[in-house]
Amino acid sequence: MNQWSVGRKRIIFSIVVLTLIIFVGVPVFYLFYRAPTCSDLKQNGDETGIDCGGSCQLLCTAQSLPLILKGDPRVLELGPSLYAVVAVVENPNVTAEIYHARYILKLFEESSLAPVRVIESEAFVPKSDTFIIFEGPLDMGEWRPVRATLEWQTDAFVWQKNTQTAIDLSVKNAALTSRDSNPRIDAVLVNNSLGSAANIELTALVSGEDGNLIAAAKTFVENLLGGGLTPVVFNWSEPFKIKEDICGFPVDVALVIDRSGSMDDLGANPPQPLTDVKNTALYFINHLGKNDRHSLISFANEASTPVDAAFSVNIDTIRQAITNISIATTTIQNTNIGAGILAAREELNSTRHREKAGKALVLLTDGIPTLPIKAGVGNYPETYAVESARLARQDGISIYTIGLGKNVNKNLLQTLATTTAEAYFAPSTNELNGIYNQIATKICRKSPAVIDIYIRVLPNKSFLR
């Protein structure tokens, strides 16, 4: 048999086989094969359950891990009769999410067995992430709820696969201010990915050092381009309700006291108002927290060098340093507020400052700055003081100012303070104890400053609540 004959037989055989496949095999395949429709209420194809698993978009419930509630839901009092409920939830499923996860929230009073309010709602559950359930404000009328429970309607869960790479978002530079008046958190949202992100929900939680939730708020960013950043703000209209006995967070406090010549204008023996100022300073350090430490800097033409008392665990050291403050008589003693602030800043930034402690500077003066002088620069003593305070605040130092008597520049002292609410004015030394007590309480309250901000990217605006 020649080569041409063999080749012709192979061609004929191939044609016959192909014909059989087309006219017999294909009809048989479609006669018996049932492609998974993922919506026919049957388990077929590569489905691992009825309309779920395999190549279906839906994930079978048996394949999903349960949602994890991170502690009990917290009830927050927002104002008269107004409350909110906050729950922190983790989804451990790496590639599965729920668009509409139904839940029941029940609120209880202190001694009630039956709930005083039942809320049925739903939430978007992002894949492999921790998110916040936030209900409020709730007008509870005469009811005073103190606890809540959260029940998931798991029978109605519809898990969906999501294998797309998540947008990498983060929050930085979160700072809490004005907690005793109109609290506010300023932060920056950063998109660390190349792609843009849309419909970004952010929830801020503020807790005390004991882990108790104090406040919560939400905000929303409509769109953020890849590599971009945007400021975000959380506001509260009422001061935080904080337990008075929470004062365990350590703070290093620098006392800055004016010893210029005017501090004996009300009397020379003993010098007044300096003597009363020293007594109230002793009162102040006795009312700070047990974990706080103190240093002392006095100033006139210049700040004391070295400082009157460096940070020390021995409170007797600071007490003796306060007692020893005196007005120099060799030369005229002017007022250099900027020098006092810079000396306190240096002490608060020294190796004696504890790494995890807060920083606070409490300044008392009875006059306006008159030093230093700079040729050709008008009002340089005030400019020098303002710049010194700016540098201190830049280092995370909270500044409280006290103006004693009538010869103080109120606008300047408000500018030097962290906020105008941290500037105090005492017509006489009789008011100093009360002012120092308010400052001690504020410094003590620095402990509830644990800020957690949770990010959730919603599928679209319809999920915004």
Phi and psi, residue 105, nearest 5°: -110, 130
Provide the CB-side half-sphere exposure for 25 (13 A, CA).
7
Residue identified by tokens 């047990």 is 290
**135 near 85, Cβ under 8 Å?**
yes
Angle between helices 337-348 and 380-394 (to 10 degrees): 20
What is this structure's pTM?
0.53
Strands 271-272 and 423-426: unpaired
Which CATH architecture best describes the domain 169-244+449-463? Sandwich (2.60)
pLDDT per residue rounded down to tens, the chain (465 residues): 556 566 666 777 677 667 766 666 656 555 555 555 676 677 777 676 776 777 776 777 667 889 999 989 999 998 889 999 999 999 999 989 999 999 999 999 988 899 999 999 999 999 999 999 999 899 999 999 999 999 999 999 989 888 888 899 999 988 887 777 788 899 999 999 999 999 999 999 998 766 788 899 999 999 999 999 999 999 998 887 655 444 556 889 999 999 999 999 999 899 999 999 999 999 898 877 777 899 999 999 999 999 999 997 688 899 999 999 999 999 999 999 999 999 999 999 999 999 888 899 999 999 999 999 999 888 999 999 999 999 999 999 999 999 999 999 999 999 999 999 999 999 999 999 999 988 988 886 544 458 899 999 999 888 877
**Helical (H) or strand (E) element with 345:** helix 337-348
Class of the 66-161 domain?
Answer: mainly beta
Q: How many helices (H) and strands (E) does the chain have?
A: 8, 23
**CA dist., res. 216 & res. 399, Å (int):** 26
Q: What is the CATH number of domain 251-444?
A: 3.40.50.410
**CA dist., res. 43 & res. 10, Å (int):** 43
State which amino acid sits at residue 12.
I
Residue whose C-alpha is closest to residue 399's, from 382, 379, 424: 424
Q: Cite the residue boundaries of each domain of the chain with CATH code 2.60.40.3230.
A: 169-244+449-463
